[in-house]
């Protein structure tokens, strides 16, 4: 009887330990790429092949977005989301990614390739069905160190609420720089300009603006246009 009790307690402890295991956080990366003059069409085609195959064939590839600066179409960004590090490594071994990398010396400026490593804070989306009306925003915000937690406590609930109650909000992602936790990156996708303007009039967005007005030192809105936006949809991740 004593041995049975010990075994039962050990099994219960093992189950409890399993239940406490937190799933690995998604990988959220931003790549800034300088496209060589006259190679934008080639870049678009290669990016399209990589993104389309990755979203279709890889369960752990959750979102891939190819966007470019409006002011300079030769500066492109790739925003990528993977379920975890293993999913990212699997993507790196895929034939479509290897084909993309193999062709980059002829497409990408060798001195203009930058990866921004981030710590995801909130990742939420719906299934994105891109059309001519779809728009996206890319914003970089520097937060005063003393307001780091307060800013997070305000902005994350605002993003959750936006996805919940606004049909035109398709994706909202927030991450901090791995090397500078006070620098935030926001990438957002809206069904249309009208949906974005409606979002800016909501009580939760206005509350966010008012409450964080004195918490930041710099806000940079990078004007971007979408090339190809594909995702699985239904992602919800909030860092505790």
Q: For the domain that residue 187 is a member of, what is the CATH number?
A: 3.30.70.100
Establish if 138 belongs to a structural domain.
Answer: yes
pLDDT at 3: 43
CB atoms within 10 A of CB 78: 19
Establish if 229 belongs to a structural domain.
Answer: yes
Tens of pLDDT along 157-171? Answer: 999 999 999 999 999
Burial class (CB in 10 A: 0-12, 13-18, 19+), 199: middle
DSSP state of 36: P
> Does pLDDT of 65 surpass 80?
yes
Establish if 1 belongs to a structural domain.
Answer: no
Establish if 8 belongs to a structural domain.
Answer: no
Tens of pLDDT along 172-189? Answer: 999 999 999 999 999 999
Establish if 223 belongs to a structural domain.
Answer: yes
Establish if 16 belongs to a structural domain.
Answer: no
Domain count, the chain: 1
Establish if 136 belongs to a structural domain.
Answer: yes
pLDDT at 23: 59
Strands 236-238 and 183-190: unpaired
Q: What is the domain range of residue 129?
A: 24-238
> Does pLDDT of 5 surpass 60?
no
DSSP state of 205: H
pLDDT at 15: 35
Establish if 169 belongs to a structural domain.
Answer: yes
Tokens of 175: 């991450």
pLDDT at 30: 98
- Which residues in 120-157 are b (16+ Cβ under 10 Å) and which e? bbbbbbbebebeeebbbbbebbbbeeebeeebbebbbe
Tens of pLDDT along 108-126? Answer: 999 999 999 999 999 999 9
């Amino acid at each position: 009887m004593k041995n049975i009790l010990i075994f039962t307690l050990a099994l219960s402890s093992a189950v409890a330990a399993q239940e406490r295991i937190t799933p690995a956080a998604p990988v959220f990366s931003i790549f800034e790429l300088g496209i060589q003059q006259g190679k934008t069409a080639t870049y678009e085609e290669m990016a399209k092949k990589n993104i389309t195959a990755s979203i279709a064939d890889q369960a752990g590839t959750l979102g891939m977005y190819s966007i470019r600066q409006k002011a300079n179409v030769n500066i492109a960004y790739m925003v990528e989301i993977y379920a975890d590090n293993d999913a990212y490594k699997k993507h790196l071994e895929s034939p479509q990614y290897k084909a993309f990398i193999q062709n980059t010396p002829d497409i990408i400026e060798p001195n203009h390739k930058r990866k921004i490593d981030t710590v995801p804070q909130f990742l939420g989306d719906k299934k994105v069905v891109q059309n001519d009306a779809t728009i996206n925003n890319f914003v970089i915000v520097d937060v005063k160190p003393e307001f780091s937690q307060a800013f997070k406590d305000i902005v994350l609930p605002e993003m959750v609420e936006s996805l919940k109650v606004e049909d035109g909000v398709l994706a909202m992602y927030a991450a901090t720089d791995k090397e500078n936790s006070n620098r935030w990156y926001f990438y957002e996708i809206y069904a249309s300009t009208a949906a974005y303007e409606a979002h800016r009039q909501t009580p939760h967005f206005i509350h966010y603006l008012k409450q964080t007005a004195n918490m930041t030192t710099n806000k940079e809105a990078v004007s971007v246009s979408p090339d190809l936006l594909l995702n699985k949809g239904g992602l919800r991740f909030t860092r505790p």
